[in-house]
């Protein structure tokens, strides 16, 4: 139902304004910046059906079925993000997949019990500032988990260097 780039930009501005007003009605006078389709550039919009791929990861065609942990886990949380063929400098799907796997292993080793890690981010956000890191580990101590998450996120540059310089087995 969008007839031109001008029409798209106008509709986007209206929707963004309405979302900002709604968010302010919930948060009050909070200071925030809302990004909407932040990767629109060079006159070309970046569009997906829902505006996000947070539900399943990237919907490209490289390496589906190859998980960083080597498992295909039906009926369990997972991303279908393909680690192969992605830029190790800034592709969050590649970097955060490795980070989440390592972080879950660290939580399990230090606290025992099962551990799941989900890392969410916005397009073009700095690697060291994901929007959210959710750790589900019923037997884990909250302070230990927080310290492990902070160290993992702070070490995103080291993880990127390791991917490039040493290589990491991705499946």
Radius of gyration of the chain (CA): 19
CA nearest neighbour of 68 among 36, 24, 33, 100: 100
Burial class for 125, CB neighbours closer than 10 Å (0-12, 13-18, 19+): middle
Number of Cβ atoms within 10 Å of the Cβ of 169: 8
**What domains, with CATH codes, occur in the chain?**
1-47 (no CATH), 54-171 (3.30.300.280)
Q: How far apart are CA 93 and CA 119, in angstroms?
A: 9
pLDDT tens-digit readout, 65-103: 556 666 666 666 766 666 666 777 777 878 888 899 999
pLDDT tens-digit readout, 23-63: 989 988 888 888 777 767 666 675 555 545 554 444 444 55
Nearby residues of 56 by Cβ (< 8 Å), 6 or more positions away? 79, 80
Q: How far apart are CA 95 and CA 11, in angstroms?
A: 34
Predicted pLDDT at 123? 75
Predicted pLDDT at 59? 47
Helix axes 142-154, 156-165, angle to 10 degrees: 50
């Amino acid at each position: 139902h969008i007839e031109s780039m001008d029409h798209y930009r106008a509709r986007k501005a209206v929707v963004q304004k309405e979302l900002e007003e709604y968010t302010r009605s919930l948060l009050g006078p909070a200071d925030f910046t809302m990004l909407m389709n932040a990767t629109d550039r060079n006159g070309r919009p970046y569009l997906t059906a829902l505006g996000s791929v947070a539900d399943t990861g990237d919907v490209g065609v490289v390496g589906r079925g190859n998980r960083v942990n080597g498992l295909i886990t039906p009926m369990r949380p997972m991303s279908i993000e393909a680690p192969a063929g992605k830029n190790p400098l800034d592709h969050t799907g590649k970097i955060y997949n490795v980070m989440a796997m390592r972080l879950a292993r660290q939580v399990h080793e230090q606290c025992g019990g099962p551990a799941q890690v989900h890392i969410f981010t916005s397009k073009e956000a700095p690697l060291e500032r994901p929007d959210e890191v959710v750790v589900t580990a019923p037997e884990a101590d909250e302070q230990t988990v927080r310290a492990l998450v902070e160290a993992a996120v702070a070490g995103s540059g080291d993880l990127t260097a390791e991917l490039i310089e040493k290589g990491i087995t991705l499946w």
